[in-house]
Amino acid sequence: MAAKSRFSNPYALLLMTMLLWGSSFSSSKSVVEHVPHSVGALLRFGGGALALLLAVALFGNREQRVPARAGWLAAAAGVLGVFAYNGFFFWGLSLAPSLDAGILIPVMSPVLTSSFLLLTGKEKPDWARASGLALGLTGAVIFFLGAGGSGGGGSSRLLGDALFLLSAVCWASYTLAGPRVLAGIEPLKATTYATCAGAVLLAVLAAPDLPKVEWSELPASVWLNSAFLAIGAAAVANLLYYRGVGEVGPAKASLMMFNVPIVNTLCATVLLGESFGWLQGTGALVLVLGAVIAVTRGKLPRRAAGPDAQPRADKASEADAGDAADAEAKAQAGSTMSPAPAEGS
């Protein structure tokens, strides 16, 4: 029972997601070193789509009919979170180290998410939020200045980092779309719709590069990394992320992204020997600090004593912080995760 409770805890699911994603940056870089970036993206999410289709066949709710609107919404989310995100991400990996991606994408994503919620009135502005966003922006500028002159990357590394920033924009949009997508479809099917839609577009993008690959000469490490990226970082991680977002909402799900740079930095430095100069390092620290302040408002969210009380405690802490609009959105998203199947047409 205790093991089941831990597995169903949304924060535990999100933490598992961040461990998978954190290690995926260096794994993706290893693949891109042997195949074109478009092919690397297809290997990751083409395989992920197949894994998810198998999971739906084995574990999906066959009695639940997916409303057409819900299916289209999930597919549209896949255009952002799978196709656009990975198109920019793998392109950036061909130009810049995975270490940069593991800093910019997971740190800028919650900053962008928080900025959107602030600008749309779903969160109330305060000095901590404004200060954190300003500090994060300053850190990003320092990081990009360092990218142009440190680590031997030059303009190529700077362009790669710009592509990583575009990936962060796509992922922030994907995070914000999560609760609406989950409103009419179970997480497994929502993830499958999104991944398959994105994989089809990635296949179109990679089609011109596929004949260029010497498939028989690829080392075993490429296939092992591709299998991990497809099953772990794509299929399993996206499924867990959808479940987590449905329970705690987009703002707190984004907060968990701060675990990714830690895992990625360890993998990139130990496995790939990557590094960046002192200016980029300074910018990364300032960026992370600003992002943490912006997302948390200088206060970590309170945790409930048990998993059953989690949603109530989350809403209470948000109400105390004056975030009534975001709490309402999270309550709506959480209700879609009920064990009872949603009505279909």
Instruction: Enumerate residues 6+ apart whose C-beta is below 8 A from 21.
Output: 106, 233, 237, 260, 263
Separation CA 205–CA 166 (nearest Å):
17
For 151-165, how does the pLDDT look when each residue is reduced to its tens digit (9 = 90+)?
Answer: 455 678 889 999 999
pLDDT confidence tier of residue 93, bands split at 50, 70 and 90: very high
What sections of 60-97 are H helices per DSSP?
A: 68-78, 85-93
Give pLDDT, residue 340: 28
Q: How long, in residues, is the chain?
A: 345
Per-residue pLDDT tens for 202-227? 999 999 999 999 999 999 999 999 99
pLDDT reported for residue 174: 81
Is 36 in contact with 206 (CB distance < 8 Å)? yes
Q: Closest Cα partner for 183 from 98, 273, 66, 97?
A: 66
Q: Which of 321, 305, 56, 76 is nearest to 186 (CA)?
A: 56
Q: Which of 55-64, 74-83, 195-204, 242-251 has the largest mean confidence?
A: 195-204
Mean pLDDT for the chain overall? 77
Note the pLDDT of residue 301.
54
Say what the pLDDT of residue 300 is: 57
CB 157 within 8 A of CB 148: yes
- Give the per-residue pLDDT at 2: 47
Structure tokens given for 251: 């703002």
Of the CA atoms within 13 Å of residue 6, those in its CB half-sphere come to: 4
| Listed range (7-11, 134-138, 171-175, 275-279) with the worst mean pLDDT | 7-11
Only one residue has tokens 């900053």, namely 111
Q: What is the mean pLDDT of residues 178-206?
A: 84
Q: Which ranges of 33-81 would DSSP assign to H, the alpha helix? A: 37-59, 68-78
Rounded-to-integer distance, Cα 291 and Cα 108, Å: 7
| H runs (alpha helix) in the chain | 2-8, 10-32, 37-59, 68-78, 85-93, 98-119, 127-147, 154-182, 187-206, 220-227, 237-248, 250-255, 259-271, 278-296, 310-320, 324-335
Question: Which residues have CB under 8 Å from 24's CB, separation 6+?
Answer: 228, 229, 232, 233, 237
Q: Mapping DSSP to helix (H, G, I), strand (E, B) and coil, where does residue 208 land?
A: coil
pLDDT tens for 29-68 read: 999 999 999 999 999 889 989 988 888 887 767 777 777 7
pLDDT at 249 over 60: yes
> What pLDDT score does 155 carry?
75
